[in-house]
Amino acid sequence: MLATRCACGFVRLADEEVGDHLLSVFEPEDGTGRDGRAHQELARLTCSCGFRAVSAGEMDSHFLAVFTPAGSVGRDGARHEPAG
């Protein structure tokens, strides 16, 4: 079952899932992950770091793994994680 809320208060919308919300608050403008490497989707389901996903969900999970900071605190200073 997919989460429908974020700890910050965001609630799933018709056109934005919680995962989309998390990517929007964690993905840096320059696409640099916590590992210091660039992470951008170059071709269908292939990341610039060499990771190849088999589904869009797996690609999103990869980006969340490399962009989510310790403590899940976004650039806005709020904690962002699936709730409920």
pTM of the predicted model as reported, rounded to 2 decimal places: 0.87
Nearest-angstrom CA–CA distance, 27 and 63: 8
- The per-residue pLDDT for range 7-63, each reduced to its tens digit, is 999 999 888 899 999 999 999 999 999 999 999 999 889 999 999 999 999 999 999
Structural domain boundaries, residue 45? 5-83
Q: What pLDDT shows up at residue 2? A: 65
Nearest-angstrom CA–CA distance, 58 and 79: 23
Domain count, the chain: 1
Nearest-angstrom CA–CA distance, 7 and 9: 5
* Sign, CA torsion 51/38/48/81: positive
- pLDDT beyond 60 at 1: no
Show contacts of 9-16: CB within 8 Å, 24+ apart: 10/80
The DSSP bridge partners found for residue 47 are 41
